[in-house]
Amino acid sequence: MNIGISLIGFMLFFSFCAFGLSSILEGECRPAIVSFSAAILFSVPFFLMTVLSQPLKLALLIVLGMLFILLAILIVLPIGHVETGNDIPHTRYDERDVVFARYYLVPGSAEYKSYYAIRPENEAGDERMRSKPGLYSPKALIVNPTILASPKASFFLTDSLYGVVDGPISEEQVDLSTKEMTAYIKNLAKYYGAHDIGITPLKPYHVYSHNGRGSGVYGAPISIKHRYAIALTVEMDHKMMRTVLPTSMETAKQYVEMTRVAVQLAAAIRFMGYSARAHFEGDYQVIAPLIARDAGLGEIGRISILITPHSGPRVRIAVITTDLDLIPDRRKDGAAVIDFCTICRKCAENCPSRAIPFDERQEVDGAIRWKIKADACYSYWNTSGVDCALCVAVCPYSHPNNPGHNIIRWGVAKSGFLRRVAHRMDDLFYGRKPTTRKGPYWTQVL
């Protein structure tokens, strides 16, 4: 009996210590301290039990057994069961209404006049937003010209690739079975640098109704004849996303990476004899998060962006649409993410612009979802001068992809009770408010 009790104590001690060590490797002091404290707090009682009398040991083991049975029952009970509901919009979204497209309209231009002729209610608010210093502006609240040159350079590169989203198609087609071609495309995308990749049939609600940015004619109706959409993600570095200025460097860098992968993959498909177009930041003709969700890469959370299983919202998404015959992936059940986002609200509490809703999902264009106040979010960016990512940094799903966090992710996906425990434990280990982090050493001297 003493051996069994001691083994339980050792398992608890080493489990918490292992999590503490992984936290140190992540650069997280608070969860390391909590983990090492918990290692002592939960293991010492078991070691003390070995010196108790036999009847008292037995009584305590019975109590522990009953607690274990109660825990097992709570885990399997349908706590926090939510219905995903209809999350398919009834109408196609006009890209001209996207806040990024509106912000860059030049007063007095034909595009400016045509847009506000159909959306006069947006003009006053958009003019107030344009009066802000601007993203990466030397007049903004947060200024470091040396560091901010990096995201500017990254977007300079993505902008220069608008002209190669599409191109000529080889006359000879590669003849592979659908199964073989699907496997090859997925492996090629990962070889190029994609983190995850999924495929879905292209649906009308995936496609913007009118062009608002990038290549193509402003305001022109968008019609894509392709049958399939390939969604791919690239991962943003966890440590960089916990900083302020380096966050802008990291997000822009990963926009470059996703663009590079998408352009290469689309070109490779065309060289195999099939039509393909890359869609990336500034030149999307499709709504990337919806495609990625339907391709099985994650679920749309409270912050209105994709929450992936192992990186949370800490990803960027690109899309390739194509007429290449492929095997679609199944959309994953996102009820666990919806339930967790319903009870968590950490992103909403930390949003400096109050752009993230606290309430339940609402019906928007026929779809049940959360909708952020994009204008408030982007206005804050243009005031501060950097693209805020606090919502991504504090999201419990954003923790690094390692065994400790993945065990918790597995439990969160399976049990509503464990989702509520994980929510409280995340507050205990990491706090409700983010801790400001410094960037890499080479950025701190600038």
Can you give the pLDDT at residue 446?
63
Same domain as 151, residue 7: no
- Whether 407 maps to a domain, the answer reads no
How do beta strands 196-201 and 276-279 pair? unpaired
Stretch (H or E) spanning 368: strand 367-369
- Whether 442 maps to a domain, the answer reads no
Q: Would you say 326 and 228 are in contact if contact means Cβ atoms under 8 Å apart?
A: yes
Last residue of a domain, one of 342, 371, 400: 371
- Whether 188 maps to a domain, the answer reads yes
pTM flag (> 0.75): yes
- Whether 85 maps to a domain, the answer reads no
Can you give the pLDDT at residue 57?
77
Closest to 211 measured CA to CA, from 117, 101, 91, 322: 101
CA dihedral angle for residue 46, residue 49, residue 51, residue 55, rounded to 10 degrees: -150
Last residue of a domain, one of 76, 111, 136: 76
Task: Please state the domain count of the chain.
Answer: 2
Same domain as 292, residue 199: yes
Same domain as 348, residue 208: yes
Can you give the pLDDT at residue 445?
67
pLDDT tens digits in sequence order for the chain, 446 residues long: 677 778 888 899 999 999 999 999 988 999 999 999 999 998 888 787 777 778 887 888 788 889 889 999 999 899 988 888 899 999 999 999 999 999 999 999 999 999 999 999 999 999 999 999 999 999 999 888 998 999 999 999 999 999 999 999 999 999 999 999 999 999 999 999 999 999 999 999 999 999 999 988 999 999 999 999 999 999 999 999 988 888 999 999 999 999 999 999 999 999 999 999 999 999 999 999 999 999 999 999 999 999 999 999 999 999 999 999 999 999 999 999 999 999 999 999 999 999 999 999 999 999 999 999 999 999 999 999 999 899 999 999 999 999 999 999 999 999 999 999 999 999 999 999 877 788 888 887 66
- Whether 172 maps to a domain, the answer reads yes
| Domain span including residue 179 | 95-99+144-371
- Residue 116 tokens read as 């506000």
Same domain as 148, residue 19: no
DSSP assignment of 264-323 equals HHHHHHHHTT--EEEE-TT--SB-HHHHHHHTTS-EE-TTSSEEBTTTBT-EEEEEEEE-
Last residue of a domain, one of 76, 108, 127: 76
